[in-house]
A and B are shown apart, each in its own frame.
Chain A
Amino acid sequence: MTIQSMSKMPSVGFAAGMWRVIKSIALLRESWVGMIGAFLVLFWILVAVFAPLITQFDPNASIQPYARPGTLSASGSIFWLGTDHLGRDILSRIVWGSRTVLFYAPLATLSAYTVGILMGLMAGYRGGLVDDILSRISDIILSFPVLVLYIIVIATIGASGFNIVIAITFASSPGIMRIVRGLVLDLRNRDYVAAALTRGESDWRIMLYEILPNARGPLIVDACLRLGYVIITIGVLGFLGLGLPPPDPDWGGMVNETRQMAIVFPYMTLFPCISISSLILGFNLLADGLREISLRD
């Protein structure tokens, strides 16, 4: 029998894991909303990966100011989306800017999740004083308007890519902690946790191995949504001048630099705005799709 012979095979952990991931992505086909989201996100990932192949100009080079979209450059290439007031090619800046967003946004989300999950696990599983302290800390952070928090943090530690990650981690991990804590409060009363306790497992093993994997469903959906917010945040920080220091391309910064000229040269602000919106929309639709699939069956 084939099944019997299969059982003799050694454990196939990694391959089986990858196969499961592929299968769950294939499930997404059944939600057209999710498919559109996945398509948008995939589009920007490809753009970021193949940036050097797509662009024909140095994103920071001043070539020809105020060129309208479609203008032929001196080198013979076309400024498809025009140039800005400093003569930089907008398409190249958007394409290279996508690398910034797609590097810092997931990094910030991951960092916020790591901190939030650890806090939430501790608060939910240990309970008592640990819970009280962690919950009050998060209440205090959450009581500030988010924007004020960003300004305070970045003004204190300075504007840079990694400081943006720190600011976002600081401001969003309390929210994640709340979600994780709620899930843990439910999951810790399951019999499999009691079974782990009765065989003397350590607290950390129970939290990370017995509880956390079972909270992943809602967390993945939330992570997708939060990734969208983080992209907005990075855009807003760029717009406020708290983002990446110039001249490196940054979508929010591009909008900020050209907004006073938006009436005369709308394309300078419009295209970076569209880029931001489409990526956020992509992540939000993807989250919707994932939720739809997880609710089914």
Chain B
Amino acid sequence: MTDTDEPVLVCKDLCISYYTRAGEIPAVVDFSLTVRPGETIGIVGESGCGKSTVAMAIMQHMGANGGIKSGSITFKGRDLTRLNEEELRSIRGSEISMIYQEPFASLNPSLKISTQLMEVPLAHENISKAEARERSVQILRDVKIADPERVMNSYPHQLSGGQQQRAVIAMGLLSKPSLLLLDEPTTALDVTVEAGIVNLIADISEKFNTSQIYISHNLGLILETCDRVFVMYSGEIVEEGTIKSLFNSPRHPYTHGLFSCIPLITTDKNAAPLKPIRGQLPLPFERPLGCYFGPRCDHFLQGVCDQAHFQMKTVGGEPDHRVRCLRYEEIDYKQVVSNTETKVSPEIGKRVLDVDGMKKYYEVKDSSLAALISGKSVRYVKANEKLNFTAHESETVAIVGESGCGKSTFAKVLMGLETGTGGEIRHNGKEISHIKVRDRSTEQIRSLQMVFQNPFDTLNPSHSIGGQISRVIRQFGVETDKKKVFDLVMTLLDTVKLPRDFYFRKPRQLSGGQKQRIGIARAFAGNPSIVIADEPVSALDVSVAAAVTELLMDIQREHKTTLLFISHDLSVVRYLSDRIVVMYLGHILERGTTAEVFAPPYHPYTEALLSAVPIADPDIIKRRIVLKGDLPSAMNPPKGCPFCTRCHRRIGDICDLELPSEQLVKDRHVIKCHIPVDVLSRIEPVIRKPGESDLNHA
């Protein structure tokens, strides 16, 4: 990779618009990018900023209503915008490949993997079937699929999500493309699986000498995979640079804002509260004159930033670092940073929730003849196996785990949507795990509420916001008088920092973050004592997620609510929780305070989870642990320790045969592992900062 190499792809002054009934929508404005051979470029930005549109334009697949207005896309000396369909077809899939977000949607469910892989070389090159098969197996081996022959003969639904995405990447690499486009390739995957894929992607350019464009909303992932990064905002690039210069000294206020929105694994809610970017992304036809970021920028200067549109400027001393800001030299971020407020942690009160040996099994009836003969017609899915933990007033307890670990099942039992199979859940001393929600008293229902994950699903699209919140208030009997209910809704809207006229709005008129705020208002309407938040911000953009997280914390502080925060994202968890419960396949593998869980002794699974978290800080040194294989099925869990099939610290047959018992490390810090605690204590920490011997003990 030298500078004399001819670039693989050059986008110059690209403008892309969509044409709709409402008129022309300029999706991408004035976009320039150069990709050199073997280089990995990251494009980062929030949803709606035009990242995917750029990828689609490079593929020349814009749909019926999209078009390139001006500018050129030159791929190896040929202008893609001028090629006809026939010429494009010979380039797509052979010289430029694209990998999409949902692996399952990119594979044809009715064809075997072998057919789909072999199709690629057969379509683009004149080779025999045997040769195509050989190459397909080889490429599967290259993307580190353990059992390529079996995968070749499988249908997509027989593979796990991680294997599917590897197969898709293999398909993209089969034709030895010069350019690989990856559009959020790991967003649909679990963190530990994601870590493996990210490792693979980082190796691709070296192994295949392929240039890559990696599109993501996650700055941490960009840091781990890319050489250079482009930050997009509202259809234009606001800053570009090498990973080193951009991450160490971001110049654009938006880039800076993005960094302050991400909870770093090294901070927590009281020491350094998140600083969300105020406002919202402007719609394409509402973009202001001058700087598009102006209305949300803290350094906006009237008469300077709201004049004519301006070009990118090269930052002095860094040839690759360019920024679209007129005032970047004047802004002193250090001074701004020093103004951070710190918040006082609330006092932890009395114990409100007691989970004592709670079990939840689902019955699965097998009506096949074989099952009837053997007498095993009923099998059990052990979704929750003997959960033990407690939660106190004002405390935030995070339940962490990957999909299928049983955290949502626990939430359902707690809420009374399902009943437990065994054990007890006591709320203020009263057993509730066997009482369905209908049989609970209003008082119990009111004091246990939930914030849901999907903002687009959490509100009923047919009813107005005001109607939905009032209903909750009346249902809980907080107020019955019409006027008083109305006043209370207004107060709640104020609490979640939304304008009062939202009372009359329908959910479709709200953005994702606003809907989630209404969801929070609804949960807190009855002044609950426990709120379960099931990944409340995982579907939101970082700048919005930061604001919603802060809001949730503030309301919790004020109401002294116990918050059960379900999440798979350890950096968010580290940031906001007091205690952490790590779940895997229905078992609690480790539980303790945040500081205890984040420092040795770790459970090996906690260790792997920590290592899998992408961290958007180039200074941090992280030990890489990539787990083998995938999560076992809950129908057929391992006999011994649930984690034994993937554990990197397996000590022998005892792991396969015997369920480890809980080892008490310290008061309320428990690890379920066969390895003795003092051995686990000697493990070196996964994450540390240079200059600090051990960050987590500091």
Inter-chain contacts of B460 with A (CB < 8 A)? 192, 210, 213-214
Inter-chain contacts of A213 with B (CB < 8 A)? 460, 462-463
Interface size class of B (residues with CB under 8 A): 20 to 34
Inter-chain contacts of B475 with A (CB < 8 A)? 199-201
Interface string of B495-514 (1 = CB under 8 A from A): 00001110110000000000
Inter-chain contacts of B450 with A (CB < 8 A)? 194-195, 198
Inter-chain contacts of B440 with A (CB < 8 A)? 200
List 22 A–B pairs whose Cβ atoms lie within 8 Å, in order of A's numbering.
Answer: A4-B501, A7-B500, A16-B504, A191-B452, A191-B457, A191-B458, A194-B417, A195-B522, A197-B415, A198-B415, A198-B416, A198-B445, A198-B448, A198-B449, A199-B449, A200-B438, A201-B475, A209-B463, A213-B460, A213-B462, A214-B460, A214-B461
| CB within 8 Å for A200 and B452 given contacts A7-B501, A191-B457 | no
Tell whether, in the assembled complex, residue B500 and residue A4 are in contact, meaning their CB atoms are under 8 Å apart: yes
Q: B454 at interface (Cβ–Cβ under 8 A)? A: yes
Residue of chain B at shortest CB distance from A8 = B500
- CB < 8 Å neighbour of B437 from A6, A197, A209: A197
The complex places the Cα of A190 from the Cα of B417 at a distance, in Å, of: 14
Q: B442 at interface (Cβ–Cβ under 8 A)? A: yes
CB B165 to nearest CB in A, in angstroms, measures 26
| CB within 8 Å for A192 and B459 given contacts A3-B499, A197-B417, A198-B445 | yes
Inter-chain contacts of B416 with A (CB < 8 A)? 198
Known contacts A197-B417, A214-B462; 9 additional CB pairs below 8 A are A7-B500, A191-B453, A191-B458, A195-B458, A198-B415, A198-B448, A199-B472, A199-B476, A214-B460
Inter-chain contacts of B499 with A (CB < 8 A)? 3
Main secondary structure of the interface of A (DSSP, over half): helix
Residue of chain B at shortest CB distance from A190 = B457
CB B670 to nearest CB in A, in angstroms, measures 29
Q: A75 at interface (Cβ–Cβ under 8 A)? A: no
Q: B466 at interface (Cβ–Cβ under 8 A)? A: yes
Inter-chain contacts of A156 with B (CB < 8 A)? none
Residue of chain B at shortest CB distance from A212 = B462
Inter-chain contacts of A201 with B (CB < 8 A)? 475
Interface string of A6-20 (1 = CB under 8 A from B): 110001000010000
Pick the 8 closest A-B CB pairs, nearest first: A213-B462, A191-B452, A191-B457, A7-B501, A192-B460, A7-B500, A191-B458, A200-B445
Tell whether, in the assembled complex, residue B437 and residue A200 are in contact, meaning their CB atoms are under 8 Å apart: yes
Tell whether, in the assembled complex, residue B417 and residue A198 are in contact, meaning their CB atoms are under 8 Å apart: yes
Inter-chain contacts of B438 with A (CB < 8 A)? 200
Q: Which of B45-76 contact A (CB under 8 A)?
A: none
The complex places the Cα of A296 from the Cα of B22 at a distance, in Å, of: 12
The complex places the Cα of A4 from the Cα of B504 at a distance, in Å, of: 12
The complex places the Cα of A214 from the Cα of B461 at a distance, in Å, of: 7
Inter-chain contacts of A214 with B (CB < 8 A)? 460-462
The complex places the Cα of A135 from the Cα of B476 at a distance, in Å, of: 36
The complex places the Cα of A200 from the Cα of B435 at a distance, in Å, of: 12
The complex places the Cα of A213 from the Cα of B519 at a distance, in Å, of: 20
CB A272 to nearest CB in B, in angstroms, measures 42
Tell whether, in the assembled complex, residue B501 and residue A3 are in contact, meaning their CB atoms are under 8 Å apart: yes
Inter-chain contacts of A209 with B (CB < 8 A)? 463
The complex places the Cα of A3 from the Cα of B476 at a distance, in Å, of: 30
Tell whether, in the assembled complex, residue B454 and residue A7 are in contact, meaning their CB atoms are under 8 Å apart: no
Inter-chain contacts of B453 with A (CB < 8 A)? 191
The complex places the Cα of A215 from the Cα of B553 at a distance, in Å, of: 36
Inter-chain contacts of B442 with A (CB < 8 A)? 200
Inter-chain contacts of A192 with B (CB < 8 A)? 457-460
Inter-chain contacts of A210 with B (CB < 8 A)? 460
Residue of chain B at shortest CB distance from A10 = B486
Inter-chain contacts of B500 with A (CB < 8 A)? 4, 7
Interface string of B425-458 (1 = CB under 8 A from A): 0000000000001101010010011101110011
Of B415, B438, B462, B475, the most chain A CB neighbours within 10 A belong to B462
Tell whether, in the assembled complex, residue B503 and residue A7 are in contact, meaning their CB atoms are under 8 Å apart: yes
CB A95 to nearest CB in B, in angstroms, measures 40
The complex places the Cα of A151 from the Cα of B472 at a distance, in Å, of: 51
The complex places the Cα of A250 from the Cα of B387 at a distance, in Å, of: 72
CB B463 to nearest CB in A, in angstroms, measures 7
Tell whether, in the assembled complex, residue B452 and residue A195 are in contact, meaning their CB atoms are under 8 Å apart: yes
| CB within 8 Å for A191 and B503 given contacts A198-B416, A214-B460 | no
CB B327 to nearest CB in A, in angstroms, measures 31
CB B228 to nearest CB in A, in angstroms, measures 38
Q: Which of B528-571 contact A (CB under 8 A)?
A: none
Of A3, A192, A210, A296, the most chain B CB neighbours within 10 A belong to A192
CB A94 to nearest CB in B, in angstroms, measures 41
Residue of chain B at shortest CB distance from A16 = B504
